[in-house]
Structure 1
Amino acid sequence: MKLTVVGCSGSFPSAESACSSYLVEADGYRLLLDMGNGALGELQRHCGLYDLDAIVLSHLHADHCIDMCGYFVARYYRHEGGRCGPIPVYGPQGTEQRLALAYGDTTTDAMSEVFDFHTLVPEGAGASFELGPFAITTAQVDHPVEAYAFRVRHRDSGSTLVYSGDTGPSGALLALARDADLFLCEASFTDGKEDIPGLHLNGNQAGECAQQAGVGRLVLTHVPPWTDAKVNLRDAKGAFEGPVELARAGAVYELR
């Protein structure tokens, strides 16, 4: 399983990175986690526009989903072989309506012609599903809107990636991350500076979660441009005994 960081900036794109988007590949299958501001352009550095097999959206804030509007245009109007068939898109309740509103067209079902929408659920049978070679488990996390973290496991190798999405401290995230090979965890806030319940993690909290979950590697992501990423990295290293680093656009991780 290969993870490519397409974009990792929080809230809005930085000079170095688009917003949240992560390409996960195995056995020729391409899964995209989130498609925030600027991600569609950067994605084309790593795979063709029409080579994605499925998309999973953690929540409906613009920095995680807004480039789906541009991707709709690419699939609906611009494919040389004609309109693309529908690709699976998993997201919170109301994803289709939210994207149609953002695009500016709520009068037709055009999006459903190229996106096969599925609704994520926080628990029960629907909280686990399979896409290609991946077994995916969801957990609803602590954020002002309905938001999910994902555990992506390659069924054959057993290698496991956990992506936090956006969340404050969450017992559900801790349980989901247990023994993951790689933990892609948000660290938006600075310890001692911001303290807004149910919104984001700081570097120390991300490190503590990784330590308690016993993950193999921690990669900090969703650091907004106004946050000193080096401080968050230092704080995470103080709480987590394993390897930890900052996500950067274009970084690739091989999980075996």
Structure 2
Amino acid sequence: MKLTVVGCTGSMSGPKGAASCYIVQTATTTILLDLGPGSMGQLMNHIDPAKIDAIILSHLHTDHCADIIGMQVYRRWLPSGPLGTVDVYSPGDGLHRTRQIGGDGADETYAGEFDFHTVAAGDTIRVGDMSIEFFDAVHPVPAVATRITGPEGGVLAYSGDTDYCEGQVAAARNADLYLCEAAFEATRDTVRDIHLTGGRAGRIAAEAGAHNLVLTHLQPWTDPDTVCAEAREEYAGPIAVAIPGGTFHVTHPSTMES
């Protein structure tokens, strides 16, 4: 599988790129993880949005789903004709949230563009040649971690937004690559049950036996060197920081190919 970072800034779009959005691809299947602010335009630098097979939203905070309206406009009003529906999976009511973002009334169902599905920890779906499992996350709104197994056995785990929890350890268990948020710095951010520090991200990766750790969702004021150093205190494996446009090849046996 190939992971492409479309956007990775935490809590908002940032001076160097869009908020959370990631492309996961095999030879036959393409899915999106999250569609944060600014991601729709950047997505078109990497793939034709018409070619995606599913959208998975880790949760429904705006910094992870705002550009679903851009996707809806693209799919409905493309001059060559409407594109039809694509499956959208999220914890919580994705249809209601999309109406809120679009400012639309209850008569707008987006039935021509999206087929909404609610998922929760314990659910498993299949999209093309990918098997996708959902696990608990700890956040102020319903949220899930995502574990994707590709056709050749490679495993990508994505934390979404979370604090430390056993669900994250389970999602990342022996994963070839764990894409994990690290929005907080330990000496600066003491609030709990919202985000991870680099240290807590490293602890999850170590307990899970993840083979590679990629830190993401860093806010514009979060220092990559600081969260990497925190993670290194807990985790001995390879660590990288996500950057817009960065790519990783998720292979099994695992290597940090980028």
TM-score interval, normalised by the smaller of the two chains: over 0.9
CA distance in 1, matches of 2:103, 2:38: 19
How big is the shift at 1:230?
Answer: 1.1
Match of 2:142 in 1: 146
Is 1:174 matched up with 2:169? Answer: yes
Paired residue type of 1:161: L
Q: Give the TM-score normalised by the residue count of structure 2.
A: 0.95
CA distance in 2, matches of 1:91, 1:234: 33
Is 1:131 matched up with 2:130? Answer: no
CA distance in 1, matches of 2:14, 2:225: 15
CA distance in 1, matches of 2:250, 2:141: 31
Match of 2:18 in 1: 18
The 5 Å alignment of 1:100-249 reads 100-123=99-122, 127-154=123-150, 156-249=151-244
Greater CA drift, 102-111 or 31-40:
102-111
Match of 1:30 in 2: 30
Which contiguous aligned blocks of 4+ residues in structure 1 show a shift greater than 3 angstroms?
Answer: none
CA distance in 2, matches of 1:63, 1:109: 22
CA distance in 2, matches of 1:79, 1:166: 36
CA distance in 2, matches of 1:109, 1:117: 13
How big is the shift at 1:42?
Answer: 0.7
State the secondary structure of the residue aligned to 1:250: coil
Contact 2:35/2:57, CA 8 A, preserved across alignment? yes
**Structure 1 unaligned spans of 5+:** none
RMSD between superposed Cα atoms in Å: 1.0
Match of 1:95 in 2: 94
Tell me how many residue pairs correspond in the alignment.
Answer: 251
How big is the shift at 1:238?
Answer: 1.9
CA distance in 2, matches of 1:79, 1:144: 40
Q: Give the TM-score normalised by the residue count of structure 1.
A: 0.95
Contact 2:28/2:129, CA 8 A, preserved across alignment? no
Contact 1:27/1:133, CA 8 A, preserved across alignment? no
CA distance in 1, matches of 2:106, 2:183: 37
Greater CA drift, 90-99 or 2-11:
90-99
**Structure 2 unaligned spans of 5+:** 252-258
State the secondary structure of the residue aligned to 2:49: coil
CA distance in 1, matches of 2:65, 2:87: 15
